[in-house]
């Protein structure tokens, strides 16, 4: 059985994690939440940041002990059986296959708007997906080092812009009162911003290539702290520089911050920030999806051809090329307007959260001790509350998971019965 080469160190691993988390949500969600809740918008962000901690603990624990290219599919197979593992793997593949093109298309629309070149709405998604495929074909370490540069540039731009805004306009204290928050508005915003804290489950598909699995918990902690700092800077900058009724908050909040700090350089600076953010996210996600496809193929869940690796570096180039080609086709169709690409976000976002729940259930089954029981209980409460608050948009992915699970279970029984009959004959 082919295994992937361990080439990724702790620093590159941290930046790969940041790349998967900091996507299109960073460009929109701070603005939309501020527009809906004013200076109380920090409350759902804080709730999401705190509530995701036990879920991250589960994935860090699982990743350290079970570093596999199949990620949650492997964890759930070990803990909950082959049917659950296969269901998790197929749904994770579907979530990434829909979410990655949607992210690339979002970047294309931003780039087209800020540059004034309408053709970039479809050219940019194809270019960034081709670039991500070429980088992943060169190897995880090569793709990871490119992501280091993109994320460093992104963080420097956001941090410098935020510091300028806060120094010029001053720090506006957030509203600490929840009296004006209705349960429905809080729930809808919490569900939306939760997307900004998804991505760590995707990182798990690269764990097989980490040189030291014992560094995985540190990678989770480091990336989590950086993400929280970045989101905090963005929210504080919006509080200081914009009025919550500004309609631009729902389309280009980063442009508002840039205009208040950089003047005439705002549009090109925002354009560079968007390119860095989208490119890093797509590069990381294409790498992760190719590894997931390789892992599922190696387990017999997908065609065996996709588990082939290149001899000189054990890189699953076949799965990389197939994944990149499919994503480019979906992005091209989505950019052409044949279907609403926003639906891709809804589907992928809900499935990501379901996979968080599956990972937590796997942890609860495999981990032992009082700490494990406390974390498992916290995860159960988090998953239940978010599912209830989100409403039908989150209920559908859970229904989809159980329908696929039932379908695979029936198929396995049918296949088993046929094999038994053949043996008797």
Find which of 36-45, 84-93, 152-161, 177-186 is predicted with most confidence, using mean pLDDT. Answer: 84-93
Give me the chain's average pLDDT, please: 86
- Give how many domains the chain has, as a whole number: 1
Local confidence band at 336 (pLDDT 50, 70, 90 cut-offs): confident
| Neighbour-count burial of 221, counting CB atoms closer than 10 A to its CB (0-12 exposed, 13-18 middle, 19+ buried) | middle
pLDDT attached to residue 180: 53
pLDDT digits (tens, 9 = 90+) for 41-52: 888 899 889 988
Determine the Cα angle at 224 with ends 294 and 89, to 5°: 25
Domain carrying residue 180: 10-395
Residue 109 and residue 27 in contact, taking contact as beta carbons nearer than 8 Å: no
Whether residue 298 lies inside any domain: the answer is yes
pLDDT digits (tens, 9 = 90+) for 58-84: 999 999 999 999 999 999 999 999 999
Whether residue 352 lies inside any domain: the answer is yes
Q: Mind giving me the DSSP string for 320-359?
A: HHHHHHHHHHHHHHHHTTSS-THHHHHHHHHHHHHHHHHH
What DSSP character marks residue 369?
Answer: S
Residue 191 and residue 394 in contact, taking contact as beta carbons nearer than 8 Å: yes
Half-sphere exposure of 6 (CA within 13 A, CB side): 10
Local confidence band at 346 (pLDDT 50, 70, 90 cut-offs): low
Look up the pTM and report it. Answer: 0.87
Whether residue 321 lies inside any domain: the answer is yes
Q: How far apart are CA 257 and CA 23, in angstroms?
A: 18
Whether residue 413 lies inside any domain: the answer is no
Identify the residue whose tokens are 């120094």.
Answer: 167
Report the CATH number that the domain containing residue 206 is assigned in CATH: 1.20.1740.10
Number of H helices, E strands in the chain: 17, 0
Whether residue 125 lies inside any domain: the answer is yes
Whether residue 209 lies inside any domain: the answer is yes
pLDDT above 70 for 424: no
Q: What is the largest CA-CA distance in the chain?
A: 83
% of the chain residues with pLDDT over 70: 92
End-to-end CA distance of the chain: 32
pLDDT digits (tens, 9 = 90+) for 235-291: 999 998 888 888 888 778 888 888 888 888 888 888 888 888 899 999 999 999 999
């Amino acid at each position: 059985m082919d295994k992937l080469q361990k080439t990724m160190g702790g620093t590159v691993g941290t930046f790969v994690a940041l790349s998967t988390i900091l996507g299109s949500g960073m460009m929109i969600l701070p603005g939309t939440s501020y527009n809906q809740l004013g200076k109380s918008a920090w409350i759902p962000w804080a709730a999401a940041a705190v509530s995701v901690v036990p879920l991250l603990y589960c994935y860090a624990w699982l990743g350290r002990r079970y570093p596999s290219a199949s990620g949650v599919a492997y964890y759930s197979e070990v803990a909950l059986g082959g049917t659950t593992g296969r269901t998790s793997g197929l749904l994770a593949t579907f979530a990434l296959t829909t979410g990655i093109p949607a992210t690339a298309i979002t970047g294309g629309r931003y780039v087209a708007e800020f540059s004034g070149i309408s053709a970039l709405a479809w050219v940019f998604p194809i270019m960034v997906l081709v670039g991500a495929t070429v980088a992943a074909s060169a190897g995880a370490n090569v793709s990871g080092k490119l992501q280091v540069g993109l994320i460093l540039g992104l963080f420097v731009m956001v941090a410098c812009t935020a510091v300028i805004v806060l120094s010029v306009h001053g720090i506006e204290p957030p509203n600490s009162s929840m009296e004006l928050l209705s349960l429905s508005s809080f729930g809808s915003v919490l569900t939306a911003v939760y997307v900004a804290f998804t991505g760590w489950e995707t990182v798990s598909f690269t764990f097989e290539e980490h040189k030291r699995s014992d560094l995985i918990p540190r990678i989770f902690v480091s990336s989590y702290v950086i993400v929280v700092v970045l989101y905090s800077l963005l929210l504080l900058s919006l509080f200081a520089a914009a009025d919550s009724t500004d309609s631009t908050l729902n389309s280009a909040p980063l442009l508002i911050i840039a205009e208040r700090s950089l003047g005439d350089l705002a549009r090109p600076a925002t354009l560079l920030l968007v390119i860095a953010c989208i490119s890093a996210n797509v590069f990381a996600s294409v790498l992760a999806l190719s590894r997931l496809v390789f892992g599922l193929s190696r387990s017999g869940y997908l065609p065996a051809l996709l588990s082939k690796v290149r001899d000189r570096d054990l890189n699953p180039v076949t799965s990389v090329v197939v994944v990149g080609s499919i994503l480019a086709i979906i992005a091209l169709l989505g950019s052409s307007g044949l279907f609403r690409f926003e639906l891709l976000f809804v589907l992928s976002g809900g499935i990501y959260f379901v996979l968080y729940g599956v990972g937590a259930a796997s942890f609860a089954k495999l981990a032992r001790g009082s700490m494990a029981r406390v974390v498992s209980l916290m995860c159960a409460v988090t998953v239940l509350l978010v599912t209830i608050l989100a409403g039908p948009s989150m209920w559908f992915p859970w229904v989809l998971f159980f329908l696929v699970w039932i379908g695979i279970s029936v198929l396995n029984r049918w296949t088993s019965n046929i094999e038994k009959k053949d043996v008797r004959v």
